[in-house]
Amino acid sequence: MEQDIARILIPRERIQQRVHELARQIDETYRDSSEGLIIVPILAGSIIFLADLIRCLPFKMRIGLMTLSRYRGAATVGGETQLVHELSTDIEGRHVLVVDDILDSGGTLMAVRSHLQERRPASLRVCVLLRKTAKAPKDLVPDFVGFDIEDVFVVGYGLDYDGHYRNWPDIGVLRPELYA
Ligand code: XMP
């Protein structure tokens, strides 16, 4: 696996430090309204981030699961966002925090946001670990952002290429010849 990574963009120690900072920000935001908070991770890319993040949160919360897909198999350019599994929890009147791995063109989060808004939550916020600043739409500003990154295809810490590299503990840039 290591030989497929061209360079490490964000080392594991820096990720952990930032996840703790994000959890503190989230705790401050929901300090008076964490009761009934539902966290909706966008599967499968956010699984590692989610697992680390929620274990830093000191209040009770629930997880609502839904699965969307934007990349099919061995592709690094996003296609149409497809809902693969419907949200498992009723969110009407609840505070909802969407957790995603990366905000790239914004197609996925736009689709998720309008899908969840229709279910009339009390509030809807978004937390992303990574944001590609060059491509993220100006009208979609996440409430919590881990790192702003350049426009390169990254893998590791949950992010995959063709299903692989999710278990790589750092965030790295895949060698371009592997997908070119
Ligand atoms: P959009 O373009 O909809 O993309 O904002 C968001 C979803 O696409 C995936 N994605 C990536 N996955 N490396 C990956 O492994 C990347 O550089 C990358 N860019 C986008 C990811 O699933 C994200 O939720």
- pLDDT by residue (tens digit) across 40-58? 999 889 999 999 999 999 9
Q: What is the mean pLDDT of residues 64-87?
A: 68
Show the tokens assigned to 9: 């963009």
Contact predicate 71/79, CB 8 Å? yes
Report how far ligand 1's centroid is from the alpha carbon of 20 (Å).
23
| Residue nearest atom 14 in ligand 1 by C-alpha distance | 159
> What would the pLDDT profile of 109-123 be if each residue is shown by its tens digit?
988 998 899 999 999
Assess whether pLDDT exceeds 90 at residue 138.
no
- Residue 95 and residue 29: Cα distance in Å, rounded? 11
Q: What is the atom index within ligand 1 of the atom nearest the CA of 136?
A: 5
**104 given a catalytic annotation:** yes
> What would the pLDDT profile of 13-30 be if each residue is shown by its tens digit?
999 999 999 999 999 999
Contact predicate 3/173, CB 8 Å? no
Q: Nearest CA to 153 among 7, 13, 46?
A: 7
Q: Which of 32-36, 42-46, 82-86 is predicted least confidently? A: 82-86
Show the tokens assigned to 29: 């935001």
Measured from the CB, is residue 108 less than 6 Å from ligand 1?
Answer: yes
Residue 131 vs residues 73, 104, 140, 145: alpha-carbon distances, Å: 22, 6, 11, 7
Domain boundaries, the chain: 18-71+78-150
Q: Nearest CA to 41 among 173, 152, 158?
A: 158
| Residue nearest atom 12 in ligand 1 by C-alpha distance | 159
Contact predicate 165/159, CB 8 Å? yes
pTM of the predicted structure, to 2 decimals? 0.91
Residue 11 vs residues 57, 97, 138, 173: alpha-carbon distances, Å: 22, 26, 28, 12
* Dihedral sign (CA 162, 167, 168, 172): positive
The partner residues of 82 in beta bridges, in order of sequence, read: 69
Residues 6+ apart with CB under 8 A from 127: 22, 26, 53, 97, 98, 99, 100, 142, 143, 144, 145
pLDDT for the residue 96? 97
Measured from the CB, is residue 149 less than 6 Å from ligand 1?
Answer: no
CATH topology of domain 18-71+78-150: Rossmann fold (3.40.50)
Assess whether pLDDT exceeds 80 at residue 100.
yes
Under the phi-then-psi rule, with left for phi > 0, alpha for psi from -120 to 50, and beta for the rest, what region is 162? left
Show the tokens assigned to 149: 């990154």
